[in-house]
A and B are shown apart, each in its own frame.
Chain A
Amino acid sequence: MTTQITSARPAAGPRKESRRRPPASSATTVGRPGFAWALPAALFFALFAIVPLIMVAVLSFMSWDGISPPEFVGTDNWSRLVDDPVMLKSIWLTLLLTVLGVVLQTPLSILLGVWAAGHQRNRAVLSVIYFIPLLLSATAVSVLWRALLDPNFGIPADATWLFGDGNLFGEQATAIGVLAFVSTWQFTPFHTLIYQGAARAIPPVLYQAAEIDGAGRYRQFFHITLPQLRTSMITSMILMIVGGLTTFETVLILTQGGPGTDTTISAYYMYDKAFKSFDYGTGSAIALALVVASTIISLIVVRVSGYDKMRSSAEGVS
């Protein structure tokens, strides 16, 4: 959703930009791509995104176990979901995990990113090491941490002062903690990369001027670096939110929604209903609710952050 908005923007973008480039409709344009070029992508998008979405919407009003013919049941699936305590809980858990992800990852990746943009010794080597978690698949990461956190043979067995009896996956608070930690561990490198790029793009002249004015390192960080990272921060946070709402593999492998339903986030609940309980109607309803919720949240974020009216960061400099 967000990519569409960004790519649509330049047409109404900053005046400066448009002055430099001739208007798109100008007759002098040679070889402007025609609509046909978008057709294959549009067709595939329709076939693999729009059509299934419509089918899911239809299915959410049906009762279907995958074998017998689907039966139309009106709004039954929906009204059951509204009264379902697990569904309500799953929404809270999804939001909680998303917020935890943003709160944990943002400061960490800003600090790491700004640091990695510098010229310290061994920086390149360390950056590569930090980057490794992102190269592993979410599945591998989850399997790895599940083994590392085994109460009898993993880290908790050697650090009982910290983990107690090590029942990390048996209690809600710690299970959620583990989920938040594992996704932070995996995705911080990616956001670090965004901030590293953004921090490198800050013109050194700003720091030179600040130094002349006698600003220390902390002042420089809070008054130059952070404001200059604002646009990247919004990009990174939107990615985190979208990622948080669609988290699935970590839950599937680390906790299977357990203990009980204590870590059953909405995406996992959908899987549980549709593919484990063969109740495709309810699963479809949850899926559709997720689509609607994600869209609304994305729109809110875009509106509140001012992403839609954002100016080029180059503008404030020159």
Chain B
Amino acid sequence: MKTRARLPRLVATGATLALGLSLAACGGGNGGASSDDGKIHVLVYGDASNKVEQRIVDTFNKTSDVKAVLDTIPGADYQQKLQTIINTPQAPDVFFNWGGGSIKPFVKGDLLLPLDDFIKKNPDLKEKFLPSVFDSAVVDGKPYGVPMRGTQPVLLFHNKKVLEEAGVQPPKTWDELLDAVGKLKDEGVTPIALGGGDVWPTQMWFQYLYDRIAGPELFAKAVGGDKSAWESADSKKALDMIKELVDAGAFGKNYDSVKYTNGGSVQLVASGKAGFELMGSWYYSQQLTDHQEFAEKDLGYTAFPSVEGGKGDPANVAGNTNNYYSVMKKTKHPEAVAEFLKLMYSDEFVKAQLDIGNLPTTTNTDKFIDGSGTPEYSRFQYDLVADAPSFQLSWDQAYPQKASSDLHKAVQQFFNGQLDTDGFVKAMQALPTE
């Protein structure tokens, strides 16, 4: 009797459970582009800049019938999580990205809306932005993103006091930099702080040297799939110069154990234990947060030095050109999205970004700089980017995301001597370009 009575109960339990689970699975399908809830979802990288994004969304919602909702993914997991939801019903209508290679797989997967039609109806969506910046979100000749937030050129920062004590001027040329390295070493300080533990700061040296020596064409060729670019004489010359700098002891011996992200290299410069650091323009606000007194008094900055005989224009810049809003093809409200994107060159947007230390790349930024918190620094950056004939997107952003891990490994291994020139060339040639 007992065993027979048990069976129906077992089945019932199983059925209830299965039902519950499948219901729970359905519940997750709401929101996002494919199930129309009459709203547009804007997905952004979750950090301190979100307050501006929220403000812009609020402004938009005051006049629009289709309301916008701001969704955030916190911190460093953004790219991974975006990749996970991009092809699901949870995908947003509009999302934050780094242009270039970061959206290339989505373009290839036919997920993104080319913005040609938007721009045809409203040419300002293109013309109100600096061309070198706007072009970074162009994939296969079509624009896929509108700049938002600010530009982040990489600059050569220095500790004024340390340089002064060593009798060194901020270098304008590569030779002056090598000279400064020698003098700083004699003073017993690490000439250049480098957070090699994070690897991407190491990559910045490659980006700039390749650009100065070979011009932007070489990397464009390489990332476009022509792998012979890495074997060229210019490529090898750049590698030789990097090697020369490392061997001269410019970065000390323990750079791979130092991190930028835990404040290690930042503190090296602030405490006077190092002279220079090559870092994105966010470095200024980082120092201001971590070492306010130093940042206000002794933090200097210059553009990356020129390289004699190099084919690249010394005015070229490398770094993160900007962040972009891209639009999903399956959005139900393209008109509303087009309206929303217009706000990215509005006066309100520019002022709000400047207030939190970002430098927007719209053509009207100019007139608001002098009223910003750090006018001199903002002006320097803005002129640098506005006058740059080319803006080299960070290598790991220009390459498709799947290449970045191997790219980082190659950069680190060449720097610390685990790979020689040929090994590095081979590693770069093995990277997937699409």
Q: Could you list which residues of chain A lie within 8 angstroms of chain B, going by C-beta atoms?
A: 34-36, 39-40, 43, 47, 65-68, 143, 146-147, 149-153, 165-170, 256, 258-261, 272, 275-279
**A169 and B197 within 8 A (CB):** yes
**A166 and B254 within 8 A (CB):** yes
Specify which chain A residues have a CB less than 8 angstroms from the CB of B289 in the assembled complex. Answer: none
B367 proximal to A (CB < 8 A) = no
Residues 191-228 of B contacting A (Cβ, < 8 Å):
196-197, 199
**A278 and B83 within 8 A (CB):** yes
* Shortest Cβ gap from B112 to chain A (Å): 11
Q: Classify the secondary structure of B's interface with A.
A: helix
**A68 and B109 within 8 A (CB):** yes
Specify which chain B residues have a CB less than 8 angstroms from the CB of A259 in the assembled complex. Answer: 256, 412-413, 416, 418
B342 proximal to A (CB < 8 A) = no
**B14 and A276 within 8 A (CB):** no
**B199 and A67 within 8 A (CB):** no
**A150 and B257 within 8 A (CB):** yes
B401 proximal to A (CB < 8 A) = yes
Contact check: which of A67, A147, A272 meets B262 at CB < 8 Å? Answer: A147
Complex interface bits, B98-124 against A, C-beta within 8 A gives 1, otherwise 0: 000000011011010000000000000
Specify which chain B residues have a CB less than 8 angstroms from the CB of A272 in the assembled complex. Answer: 405
Contact check: which of B262, B406, B416 meets A170 at CB < 8 Å? Answer: B416
B63 proximal to A (CB < 8 A) = no
Specify which chain B residues have a CB less than 8 angstroms from the CB of A258 in the assembled complex. Answer: 197, 199, 256, 409, 412
**A260 and B257 within 8 A (CB):** no
Q: Could you list which residues of chain B lie within 8 angstroms of chain A, going by C-beta atoms?
A: 6, 9-10, 13-14, 17, 21, 80, 83-84, 86-87, 105-106, 108-109, 111, 196-197, 199, 252-259, 262, 264, 267-268, 273, 401-406, 409, 412-413, 416, 418-419
Q: Classify the secondary structure of A's interface with B.
A: loop
**A152 and B412 within 8 A (CB):** no
Q: Given the interface contacts A65-B402, A67-B111, A259-B416, does A168 sit within 8 Å of B14 by beta carbon?
A: no
- How many Cβ-Cβ contacts under 8 Å join chain A to chain B? 109
Specify which chain A residues have a CB less than 8 angstroms from the CB of B111 in the assembled complex. Answer: 67
**A278 and B401 within 8 A (CB):** yes
Q: Given the interface contacts A35-B10, A67-B86, A146-B259, does A151 sit within 8 Å of B254 by beta carbon?
A: yes
- Of A35, A66, A168, chain B has the most CB atoms within 10 Å of the CB of A66
Q: Given the interface contacts A165-B254, A170-B257, does A260 sit within 8 Å of B87 by beta carbon?
A: no
Q: Given the interface contacts A43-B17, A272-B405, does A260 sit within 8 Å of B252 by beta carbon?
A: no
Q: In the assembly, what is the distance between CA of A275 and CA of B6, in Å?
A: 45
Specify which chain A residues have a CB less than 8 angstroms from the CB of B6 in the assembled complex. Answer: 34-36
**A152 and B401 within 8 A (CB):** no
Contact check: which of A147, A152, A169, A261 meets B256 at CB < 8 Å? Answer: A169
13 A–B pairs (Cβ distance < 8 Å), ordered by A: A35-B10, A39-B13, A67-B83, A68-B109, A151-B257, A169-B256, A256-B197, A258-B409, A259-B256, A259-B412, A260-B409, A272-B405, A276-B404
* Shortest Cβ gap from A259 to chain B (Å): 5
Q: Closest chain B residue to A278 by CB distance?
A: B402
**A276 and B257 within 8 A (CB):** no
Contact check: which of A47, A65, A147, A275 meets B105 at CB < 8 Å? Answer: A65
Q: Closest chain A residue to B199 by CB distance?
A: A258
Q: In the assembly, what is the distance between CA of A160 and CA of B262, in Å?
A: 22
Q: In the assembly, what is the distance between CA of A260 and CA of B418, in Å?
A: 8
**B10 and A165 within 8 A (CB):** no
Q: Closest chain A residue to B400 by CB distance?
A: A278
Q: Given the interface contacts A165-B254, A278-B402, does A150 sit within 8 Å of B264 by beta carbon?
A: yes
Q: In the assembly, what is the distance between CA of A169 and CA of B111, in Å?
A: 41
**B109 and A170 within 8 A (CB):** no
Contact check: which of A39, A150, A279 meets B14 at CB < 8 Å? Answer: A39
A-B pairs, top 5 by smallest CB distance, nearest first, are A170-B256, A167-B254, A169-B257, A151-B254, A260-B413
**B409 and A66 within 8 A (CB):** no
Q: Closest chain B residue to A34 by CB distance?
A: B6
Q: In the assembly, what is the distance between CA of A153 and CA of B190, in Å?
A: 14
Q: Closest chain A residue to B2 by CB distance?
A: A34
Specify which chain B residues have a CB less than 8 angstroms from the CB of A279 in the assembled complex. Answer: 402
Q: Closest chain B residue to A178 by CB distance?
A: B257
Q: In the assembly, what is the distance between CA of A78 and CA of B60, in Å?
A: 51
Specify which chain B residues have a CB less than 8 angstroms from the CB of A66 in the assembled complex. Answer: 83-84, 87
**B13 and A36 within 8 A (CB):** yes
Q: Closest chain A residue to B404 by CB distance?
A: A276
Q: Given the interface contacts A35-B6, A47-B21, A150-B264, does A168 sit within 8 Å of B405 by beta carbon?
A: no
* Shortest Cβ gap from A29 to chain B (Å): 11
Q: Closest chain A residue to B261 by CB distance?
A: A146
* Shortest Cβ gap from B401 to chain A (Å): 6
Specify which chain A residues have a CB less than 8 angstroms from the CB of B409 in the assembled complex. Answer: 258, 260-261
